[in-house]
Chains A and B, each alone.
Chain A
Amino acid sequence: NAGVTQTPKFRVLKTGQSMTLLCAQDMNHEYMYWYRQDPGMGLRLIHYSVGEGTTAKGEVPDGYNVSRLKKQNFLLGLESAAPSQTSVYFCASRPTVERNEQFFGPGTRLTVL
């Protein structure tokens, strides 16, 4: 199993550009999450999904959209990137509501100029 993978690993954008971050998991997990991690701020939840076709807002959803069309994939979109979205983005998945361990992807380092 590859576990949780994220594409791309690094990206530099200009203000106003758009992009999509892809998260894929091959563990048949129900729950998937997108976080951002900034120095001194810890992990902050952007959006999450409790199953295929469902999404919900987390702590810091503004400026981001997500989709979960397939169970194994969770996409994070930035429609018009801003310098404040410079961050490390982590995707995570969790098997079921009864299992609490979350498995994280390796992260995507995004810089918005």
Chain B
Amino acid sequence: GQQLNQSPQSMFIQEGEDVSMNCTSSSIFNTWLWYKQEPGEGPVLLIALYKAGELTSNGRLTAQFGITRKDSFLNISASIPSDVGIYFCGRVSGGSNYKLTFGKGTLLTVNP
């Protein structure tokens, strides 16, 4: 199947540091999504990207849709302890049969 590579697999940082994670795909897509999953919960949408080159912010989070349409990154500035969780990128395929498939996730740990 089409591969979606997310990196890094895990990060352990100090409170206040900035964080960057990214996803790359072997194929082009029209939609990139970033989700966060907290322990014991289902994933929650953080940012959705629909256009190549699009840069979108949500508070301390910023995500960009790569110009090649094969990649996306998520940045978190000035991390805080509640940023802890697993961050997933997702890409949409299937046209009218909308399917969302995820990367393997980035586990973020923030040390107070």
Asked whether A and B interact, the reply is: no
- Residues of B in contact with A (beta carbons under 8 Å apart): none
- Residues of A in contact with B (beta carbons under 8 Å apart): none
